[in-house]
Amino acid sequence: MNAEQLTAKWAQFKVELKQQWGKFTDADLQQIEGNYDKFIGKVQELYGEKKDELMKWADRWHEKPAPAVAPAVAVAKTP
C-alpha cells in the first residue's frame, strides 16, 4: 500500500488496523490521520521487528475487494 492508497482508504483502514494490531491507540490514529510517513513511523515505533509483517498485512488488506453494498429496498406506503 502506498501513501495515496492509505489516504484514500484511511477511515476504513484505521478501524481494521486497530482491531488487528491492538497497540494502536485512538490518539495514535488521530495523529497519523492518513499520513503515510507518520503511519510508517508509528509502525516502527510500536512493532519494530514485526514491521514487515504489519506492512504485508496492510498490503493484503488493500488488495481485498471492497464489501458489496446492499441495494436500497423500496418501502411501500399504505394509504
pLDDT for 67: 59
Q: Is residue 49 part of a domain?
A: yes
Q: Is residue 11 part of a domain?
A: yes
User: Which range of residues forms the domain containing residue 25?
Assistant: 3-63
What average pLDDT does the segment 33-59 reach?
92
Residue 65 — pLDDT band, cuts 50, 70, 90? confident
Residue 50 has pLDDT above 80, yes or no: yes
Q: Is residue 75 part of a domain?
A: no
pLDDT for 62: 87
Name the domain count of the chain.
1
**SS (HEC) of 8-46:** HCHHHHHHHHHHHCCCCCHHHHHHHCCCHHHHHHHHHHH
Q: Is residue 21 part of a domain?
A: yes
Residue 36 — pLDDT band, cuts 50, 70, 90? very high
Q: Is residue 76 part of a domain?
A: no
Q: Is residue 79 part of a domain?
A: no
Distances (CA, A) of 1 to 6, 20, 24, 27, 75: 7, 17, 18, 22, 41
Q: Is residue 72 part of a domain?
A: no
More confident residue, 19 or 70: 19
Residue 74 has pLDDT above 60, yes or no: no
CATH number for the domain including 14?
1.10.1470.10
